[in-house]
Amino acid sequence: MRTALLPIGDVDDDVLAHLALELSIFGDVEILPSVDVPESAYRPRRGQYLASDLKELTASYPHDKVLGVANVDIYEDPLRFVFGLADIRGKSAIISLNRLRGGAEILKQRAAKEAFHELGHTFGLRHCPNRICVMTFSNSLADTDSKGKDYCYFCTLRLRTAGVFP
């Protein structure tokens, strides 16, 4: 499988390299050239960018999965903000680093968890009730920090059944 990371706007190269390494469990990972953050996705009333508009940027690439990585605050109605957004059983997903801030290592860990989470959705996984599974819903940084970066036994089994893992 071929996965691409699409930097949207100014994204730290170290974070992208870390994500590429972590996501290599799915196969080949390519870091694409950065694209500009489209102003059409900005919603002045909210002071945020609409996640689904940014996710659309990932649709035209020929890879099996494309994960957009942005550094702007994103939301999707009816939520106040989201860490990411993905197509269920699709190829497109996006994460935002904006609310994942911390030290460099913490940012990388949080970004990897959200990347695994959103890509899990593209493989057909839904939110998991297991609080340490990476597929559990994160409504805050505390949620992201408390979950693991791995899929639980049942989510891994679903990924194997889908042919994602051997």
Residue from 30, 56, 76, 118 carrying the catalytic annotation:
118
118 classed as catalytic: yes
119 Cβ contact list (under 8 Å, min separation 6)? 3, 23, 26, 65, 67, 86, 93
CA pair distance 38, 132, nearest whole angstrom: 35
3-state DSSP call for residue 32? coil
CA pair distance 142, 94, nearest whole angstrom: 20
Residue entry with tokens 């597929």: 135
Strands (E), 89-146: 92-96
Residue 27 tokens read as 């196969």
CA pair distance 13, 15, nearest whole angstrom: 5
Catalytic positions, please? 118
